[in-house]
Amino acid sequence: LPDGDINWTKAPCRFCGVGCGVLVGTENGKAVAVKGDPKSTVNKGLLCVKGYHQIMCLQAKDRLTHALVKKNGTYVQTPIQEALDLVASKMKETIEKHGKDAVAMYTSGQSTIPEGYVASKFMKGAIGTNNLDCNARLCMASAVTGFLTSFGADEPMGCYEDIDHADVFVLWGNNMAEMHPVLFSRMLEQKNRRGAKIIDFATRTTRTSMAADKSILFKPQSDLAVANAICYEIIKNGWVNTSFVEKHCSFNKGLTNMGYGLEDNYKFKDKPEKIDFKAYKKFLEDYTPEKVEKISGVSVKDIKYMAAYFGDPNKKVVSYWCMGINQHTRGTWMNNLVYNIHLLTGKISQPGNGPFSLTGQPSACGTAREVGTFTHKLPKGVVTNEKHRRLAAKIWKVPYERIPSKPTYHATEMFRAVDRGEIKFIWTQVTNPLVSLPKTSRYRPGMEKDSCFVVVSDVFPTPTSDVADVILPASWHIEKSGLYGNSERRTQHWDKMVEGPGETTPDAWMTIEVAKRMGFGDLFPYSEENHVEEIYNEYRQFHEGDKHGMAPLEVLKSQPGAIWPYVNGKSTQWRFNAKYDPACSNNEDFHFYGKPDGRAVIWQRPYEPAPEEPDNEYPFWLNTGRVIEHWHTGSMTRRIPVLHKAMPNAYVELHPKDAERLQIKNGDKVKLITRRGEIIMPASVNQRGIPTPLQVFVPFFDENMLINDLTLDSFCPISKEPDYKKCAVRVEKV
């Protein structure tokens, strides 16, 4: 088609953590087309089905265009200024009556960097509470604690260019063909061109398995045992990169049997203890391939097959994972275990060699992890560190004592506190917790109680906005300027392209307006027109001259992003390797400078069972996840007709043998029952994916079939990330 008068503007994709570059075509003030940005090194012009159709959600008829305030049980359209007055006065009144820890904000890995930054400054610097957490807690908190415990520095050390160099891709419980489709296409290109191998290690057969060279199925939770068995084999066969380990690694063990966070106010602190290589080797004797075959169902041959690729000095290996490892009651441990494999073999921080945890959301890295919209975080460092609090206080121009030194509620606990009546005001932005929280059947009644005033900012109505006292109409992606940070530490900027309808307003600006009304105007001296730029420039000060240096805005405006640390006008593609990373200061080949001794940690982490396993009453495992057509809770993609038609509703995937035994055919109505509730949905047999016998899989995008009403709210005690992948369920034909 001729471009005509179409004006093309660059942006990162609105949806997943891959962060593909898109070009949005606008004509007469309207977004009319999308194409992949050929200049983007992330996607090289390619997009997936969600990326190509993203702007179509703007045509949805039920867009939230004006503020709505609940009066006598009905929503009344209210001028935005009046609604913001009400939000500010309710927040102020709650603080006056019940203290600053009675108010909370719950934000998102889909918030832009400026949105996350002002939320953090508002809650921690202005009000003085750490009651800020975000939905990224539900998807990659275990990756963060994994990185911090192993390397002392968050986020992957490599970049997407690893795909062009690796000989083998090991996918740990990661259906990349549907979750990170553009990266998977890049891997397939390398498989076809160079014969690179893809190993799919998972609990179900998916589209990823179908394209992989080898599909290895394991029993849920037993990935812990298999990873240890791989380390056992590496040591037994003399495949340890001894000089690397001696120079750059140390060994630790932590606490075991630490519970699953099922009770309220659960507290846990790990106690690392130094061990030596001999003790670690001894620990691994419990994980011989023969013993692990019994726990995991993975054959001795397949364990040795995986270990041999890691052990082969002539093969470059990249491990990829996302929710399969992170949403795990031992998520931090599983992250540590994958790092162990790469550290033992020295396959790390080099082109084509490395462990790479992927993110689900477009700015889980840039906003949630880097700006820090978690209860324990600050834009640099953590609230428990005096130096970090002093730096934040200096840049924010607030008294140092105002920033509390103790974290308060992580996501799950925040909603438990709402239910207990401790939090009396909560503001959610860019997220839909009453679809995405585990065991939503428990948390919905808490949000409905009159004891809590609920404010929801969003683009479309959702089950969360259904319980709000005030609904604020948010601008969508291209109706505002912004910045996102993707999985490979790449920060990307975009300019506002179209006007939003009605009184829609950027989330950052709504936060600033409420802050001003509460008397904090001095701390938010930004202009409405340029607030994104002004906020980003202020945020950059946190990382000036350090190992997280961010690129200047002019650079981000002129090119499809830059990878931090951005040093002397250059992105750093591989951290901790002196050849690529100027922050390595010890004149050696590698330097894990996140740790005081410069050494990465190999952790002794055992296999422990899941908190709820199948039994006679509930004989199946329940696993949940996404499908390629839908983004997150479906609030946007279900309003895109082509995606909705392709995948109109959720379903339960059954193994053909289980279906036959229960006399269930494809499309039959099936009832799923867990200890939390029950739900009816159509069966999927021999369709898109096949779970292992006695396991079912349900996607979570469908608000009319809320599978998260049934999931268990247990979490990793270190990261506090819930496990959506494992609980016990009964299946009945309706």
Task: Name the binding residues.
Answer: 13, 16, 20, 48, 50, 110, 135, 139, 221-223, 323, 327, 432, 457-458, 480, 507, 624-633, 700, 708, 725
Which stretches of the chain bind ligand SF4, using CB under 6 A? Answer: 13, 15-16, 18-20, 43, 47-48, 50-51, 181-182
3-class DSSP string for 529-548: CCHHHHHHHHHHHHHCCCCC
Contact 340, 603 (CB under 8 A): yes
Q: How far is the CB of 486 from ligand SF4 (least distance, A)?
A: 8
Q: Is 323 a catalytic residue?
A: yes
If the CB atoms of residues 308 and 646 are measured against ligand SF4, the closer one turns out to be 646
Catalytic residue among 134, 139, 159, 322: 139
Q: Is 179 a catalytic residue?
A: no
Rounded-to-integer distance, Cα 538 and Cα 63, Å? 33
If the CB atoms of residues 13 and 227 are measured against ligand SF4, the closer one turns out to be 13
Using DSSP's 3-state secondary structure scheme, residue 412 falls into helix
Contact 306, 216 (CB under 8 A): yes
Contact 523, 515 (CB under 8 A): yes
Q: Among 44, 43, 57, which residue's Cα sits nearest to residue 181?
A: 43
Residue 189 phi, psi dihedral angles, 5° rounding:
-60, -40
If the CB atoms of residues 163 and 343 are measured against ligand SF4, the closer one turns out to be 163
Give the single-character DSSP code of 700. S
Give the single-character DSSP code of 500. P
Point out the annotated binding site for substrate: 700
Catalytic residue among 54, 190, 350, 361: 361
Rounded-to-integer distance, Cα 372 and Cα 107, Å? 11
**Tokens in use for 504?**
């829609």
If the CB atoms of residues 185 and 711 are measured against ligand SF4, the closer one turns out to be 185
Rounded-to-integer distance, Cα 431 and Cα 362, Å? 13
Q: How far is the CB of 35 from ligand SF4 (least distance, A)?
A: 11
Q: How far is the CB of 596 from ligand SF4 (least distance, A)?
A: 37
**Separation in Å, CA 34 to CA 8, 48, 50, 52:** 9, 11, 11, 6
Rounded-to-integer distance, Cα 276 and Cα 269, Å? 22
Catalytic residue among 360, 366, 634, 689: 360
Rounded-to-integer distance, Cα 102 and Cα 97, Å? 9
* Residue nearest ligand SF4 (C-beta atom): 51
Point out the annotated binding site for [4Fe-4S] cluster: 13, 16, 20, 48
**For residue 731, what is the enclosing H or E element?**
strand 727-733
Contact 120, 130 (CB under 8 A): no
Q: How far is the CB of 643 from ligand SF4 (least distance, A)?
A: 11
Catalytic residue among 50, 315, 316, 726: 50
Catalytic residue among 91, 323, 510, 550: 323
If the CB atoms of residues 490 and 605 are measured against ligand SF4, the closer one turns out to be 490
If the CB atoms of residues 591 and 632 are measured against ligand SF4, the closer one turns out to be 632
If the CB atoms of residues 35 and 281 are measured against ligand SF4, the closer one turns out to be 35
Q: How far is the CB of 484 from ligand SF4 (least distance, A)?
A: 10
Contact 484, 363 (CB under 8 A): yes
**Separation in Å, CA 58 to CA 9, 238, 598:** 17, 58, 49
Outline where 103-211 has alpha helix (H): 113-120, 141-151, 176-179, 181-194, 207-211
Tell me the DSSP string of 626-684.
--TT--TTSTTGGGSHHHHHHS-S--EEE-HHHHHHTT--TT-EEEEEETTEEEEEEEE
If the CB atoms of residues 484 and 620 are measured against ligand SF4, the closer one turns out to be 484
Q: Is 249 a catalytic residue?
A: no
The amino acid that residue 642 corresponds to is V
Rounded-to-integer distance, Cα 563 and Cα 595, Å? 22
Q: Is 140 a catalytic residue?
A: yes
Q: How far is the CB of 498 from ligand SF4 (least distance, A)?
A: 19
Catalytic residue among 140, 159, 187, 647: 140
Q: How far is the CB of 612 from ligand SF4 (least distance, A)?
A: 32
Q: How far is the CB of 282 from ligand SF4 (least distance, A)?
A: 44
Among all residues, which ones are annotated catalytic? 50, 139-140, 323, 360-361
